[in-house]
Amino acid sequence: MRKNLLAAAAVVTAVGCLTLTACNDDDAKSGGASPSRTAGSKPATSPAGSPASARPTASNGPKGAALAFGEPSRTVGAGTVGILEITPTTVVYATAAGRTAPQHGTFAVVTLLEKSLSANPADEEAPAKGGGWRWVSTDGQSIPAGNGNAAKVVLAKYRHSGGIAPGASQMRVKVFDLTPAQAKGGTIVYTDGTKSDDRWTVPATDTGPQAAEVKQQLRP
């Protein structure tokens, strides 16, 4: 089902582009000025390396297989609206966040880069509607994001929510309250509104470009 929805969203985006092109062609034929081409100016060109292949596509590999940490995956937005690209970028393990201690021993903090790739705003599916994030430990235990004292951890720079505008991106964060045994790497899983899962293998040590920044924000 999700494959069909991703394909449909991509078609809507492509149709919008084709419609704009057709309108520009009609203006040119009738002597009107095209929005992208005026007298004395050169035709607009696409930057090198950004052809139609940059548009959202339905194919993104096997959805059941775990991707490498840092690899992007495209999924359907909340309410099956839009296309959301999610990339986990950093993981940091901490025994405290400010004055908040983890209930089970260790906080696993995962930052995410999320982009809206379609003509509509896109957002994560809410847990109340069957979506959301969980951590699966190496021995198969499943832990939802925000469990224990994880919901009390606030990183101001990554505190975003709501729909992401078309073409825009946001850095977000998910926090898990884990036992020391659960915090030795694992898999993070995102479930979208079609009940399809995206999975990423998480390193067992602090990793990623935001690691230093996250550690700074976790200090008292």
Q: Does residue 29 sit within a domain?
A: no
Q: Does residue 95 sit within a domain?
A: yes
Report pLDDT for 59.
Answer: 33
Report pLDDT for 6.
Answer: 55
Q: Which residues contact 155 (CB under 8 A, 6 or more apart)?
A: 109, 173, 214, 217, 218
Q: Which domain holds residue 146?
A: 61-218
- Say which DSSP state 185 is in: -
Q: Does residue 147 sit within a domain?
A: yes
Q: Are 70 and 90 in contact (CB under 8 A)?
A: no
Q: Does residue 54 sit within a domain?
A: no
Q: Does residue 84 sit within a domain?
A: yes
Q: pTM score, two decimals?
A: 0.74
Strands across the sheet containing 73-76: 73-76, 83-94, 106-116, 169-178
Q: Does residue 69 sit within a domain?
A: yes
Q: Does residue 145 sit within a domain?
A: yes
Q: How many domains does the chain have?
A: 1
Between CA 92 and CA 210 the distance in angstroms is 9
Q: Does residue 52 sit within a domain?
A: no
Q: What is the pLDDT along the chain (220 residues), one digit of tens a residue?
A: 555 555 555 544 444 444 434 444 444 444 444 333 333 343 333 334 333 333 333 334 335 689 999 999 999 999 999 999 999 999 999 999 999 999 999 999 999 999 999 999 999 999 999 999 999 999 999 999 999 999 999 999 999 889 999 999 999 999 999 999 999 999 999 999 899 999 999 999 999 999 999 999 999 8
CATH assignment at residue 177: 2.60.40.1240
Report pLDDT for 178.
Answer: 98
Report pLDDT for 77.
Answer: 94
Closest CA to 75 of 31, 132, 35, 127: 132
Q: Which residues contact 152 (CB under 8 A, 6 or more apart)?
A: 97, 100
Report pLDDT for 2.
Answer: 52
